[in-house]
Each structure stands twice: as structure tokens, then as C-alpha cells.
């Protein structure tokens, strides 16, 4: 049972403002005691944008801010936007649109620079980057790492967190070393869709019971997410919007009160500088 004073944060999900459930997904989340969410912009091409330059991403970010504002109006707490460039874009640019990896790198860096403008103005909370989680050529891998390292540099200058979409792993200390080299602390690097054990970045644990138990037993900072994709063509993909609140209730029933506070109060404040308790009270 979740009481009214317990923040429940989904750290990574997508909302489609035009083509699928959008705010109805938020209402489902609220019905089962969800309170806060971090909404990551959908991949640019899913919103009909085929980018050739950084400025081309701006409509994607603007539409994301609009759906986040609508979500906040429904939530007992609030929503925050996370903006950036999906690392899978590099394959679309190189394999389907004829750019070479260096050209694709520059387009994607440009998108990160535009996303950083929104963080700097206070309109977005964090940046998103990463690298493909599937096998790619060496030059595409190098270009992807260059985009990610550029995002770390922007995050360091803005003092904001960076969410990563990357390959599955339990050890990514090389990545957090790169972040720290440019002044971004390791605890501001978040690995989205993580398992319950991860060295290096903060794991944003996909909310399956076994992975959550691993994270809870480990006792290190972690977050919880669904990676809900709100895609009409893949209605059952990843996890539904009710999952995080239901898993929080399950954790509480099984005596993991400290883990719930870790994932929904302490770690969000450490990583993002957000206070999920005060924003719940204010709302």
C-alpha cells in the first residue's frame, strides 16, 4: 500500500502527444498512485523529424515540453523533461540517409547543443545521449562515443545529469571516467534500462521484480523506470505506465521501505537536484 506522502517517480518514459495514449497514460499512472515522471523526448524520426542539423530537433523538444506541462497538470507531483538525441539516430543517418559517420556525429552534436539550451534556460532537467546497444562498425561506434562525450561536456558546464541509452552491462566505469574527465561527476550519469547491479553510472532499473530486488539488496543509489514507449504499433513494448507504482507497492509489502526512499527521494535529489517530497506537498 502506498500512502499519500510517498513520492513515486518513473525515471524514464516516453509520451506521444499526438499519435497514441499521451495524457491517458499519465492518468493510468496516477490511478495507481504514481506522482512524478521524467519524460524523455521520443526519437526524432518517431515525431516526423528527419534532422539534417541541430536546429531541426527544436520542434521535437518543443512538443515534448508541451506534453510535459500537460502531464504535470495531471500529476499529484510533477513531470520534468529530459531532452537529447537518441543514439540509434546514427544508424538511420548513415545506413538509410547516406551520411558518413563524421557528418552524422556533427548533426547529433548539434541536437545536443540545442537540447542544452533548454536545460540552461531551466525548461528541461537533464540531457539524453548514449551509443547503440547493437553491433555497429568501428567508425560509427567512435562517432557515437564522441557524441556521448560531447554530451558529458555540456552536462558538466550546465551542472545537469545525463541519461544514457547504451548496451546492457554491469560495468561501465570507463564511461563515467570520461564524464569525470570533463567535470561531470559519476553520480550525474544515469544508465537507462539498467539491471539491478551496475558499476559506474547510476542504474535506472527496469522495473522487473528480480532486478528491483537486486538493486534493493545492493543498497546503492538507484532509480526505477518503465521505458514506456507509447507507440501505437507496439502497444505491449517494454512496460506499461502503471508498472512503477505497482512495483513500489510490491517493494513496500516485502519490507523494502529504505529502497523505495532511496529510489524515489534520495537518488532523484542526488542525481537531478529535485525534491520529490516538496513538489508533492506543493502540488
Whether 4 maps to a domain, the answer reads: no
Range of the domain at 154: 9-282
pTM of this structure? 0.96
Whether 2 maps to a domain, the answer reads: no
Whether 3 maps to a domain, the answer reads: no
Selected residue with higher pLDDT from 281 and 213: 213
Whether 143 maps to a domain, the answer reads: yes
Q: Phi, psi at residue 36, to the nearest 5°?
A: -135, 155
What mean pLDDT value characterizes the chain? 95
- The reported pLDDT for the residue numbered 21 is 85
Percent over 70 (pLDDT), the chain: 97
- Does residue 68 surpass a pLDDT of 80? yes
Whether 1 maps to a domain, the answer reads: no
Q: pLDDT digit string (tens) for 129-151?
A: 999 999 999 999 999 999 999 99
Radius of gyration of the chain (CA): 18
- The reported pLDDT for the residue numbered 174 is 98
CATH number for position 48: 3.20.20.140
Ordered strands of the 36-40 beta sheet:
9-13, 36-40, 79-84, 126-130, 162-165, 189-194, 202-206, 223-225
- Does residue 19 surpass a pLDDT of 80? no
| Residues 161 and 185: beta-carbon distance below 8 Å | no
Total structural domains in the chain?
Answer: 1
- Does residue 91 surpass a pLDDT of 90? yes
- The reported pLDDT for the residue numbered 238 is 79
- Does residue 154 surpass a pLDDT of 80? yes
Q: What is the mean pLDDT of residues 21-25?
A: 90
CB atoms < 10 A from the CB of 174, how many? 9
Amino acid at each position: 500500500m502506498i500512502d499519500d506522502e510517498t513520492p513515486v517517480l518513473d525515471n524514464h518514459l516516453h509520451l506521444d502527444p499526438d499519435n497514441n495514449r499521451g495524457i491517458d497514460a499519465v492518468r493510468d499512472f496516477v490511478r495507481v498512485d504514481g506522482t512524478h515522471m521524467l519524460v524523455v523526448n521520443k526519437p526524432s524520426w518517431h515525431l516526423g523529424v528527419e534532422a539534417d542539423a541541430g536546429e531541426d530537433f527544436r520542434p521535437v523538444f518543443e512538443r515534448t515540453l508541451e506534453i510535459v506541462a500537460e502531464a504535470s497538470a495531471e500529476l499529484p507531483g510533477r513531470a520534468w523533461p529530459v531532452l537529447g538525441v537518441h543514439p540509434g539516430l546514427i544508424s538511420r543517418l548513415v545506413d538509410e540517409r547516406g551520411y558518413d559517420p563524421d557528418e552524422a556525429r556533427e548533426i547529433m552534436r548539434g541536437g545536443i547543443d540545442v537540447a542544452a539550451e533548454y536545460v540552461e534556460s531551466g525548461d528541461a532537467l537533464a540531457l539524453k545521449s548514449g551509443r547503440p546497444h547493437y553491433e555497429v562498425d568501428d567508425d560509427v561506434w567512435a562517432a557515437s562515443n564522441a557524441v556521448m562525450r560531447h554530451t558529458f561536456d555540456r552536462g558538466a558546464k550546465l551542472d545537469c545529469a545525463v541519461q544514457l541509452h547504451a548496451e546492457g552491462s554491469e560495468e561501465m566505469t570507463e564511461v563515467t571516467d570520461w564524464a569525470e574527465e570533463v567535470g561531470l561527476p559519476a553520480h550525474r550519469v544515469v544508465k537507462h534500462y539498467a539491471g539491478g547491479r551496475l558499476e559506474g553510472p547510476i542504474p535506472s532499473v527496469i522495473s522487473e521484480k528480480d532486478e528491483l530486488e537486486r538493486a534493493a539488496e545492493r543498497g546503492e543509489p538507484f532509480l526505477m523506470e518503465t521505458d514506456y514507449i507509447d507507440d501505437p504499433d507496439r502497444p505491449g513494448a517494454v512496460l506499461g505506465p502503471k508498472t512503477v507504482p505497482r512495483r513500489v507497492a510490491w517493494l513496500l509489502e516485502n519490507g523494502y521501505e529504505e529502497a523505495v526512499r532511496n529510489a524515489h527521494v534520495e537518488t532523484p535529489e542526488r542525481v537531478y537536484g529535485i525534491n520529490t517530497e516538496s513538489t508533492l506537498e506543493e502540488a
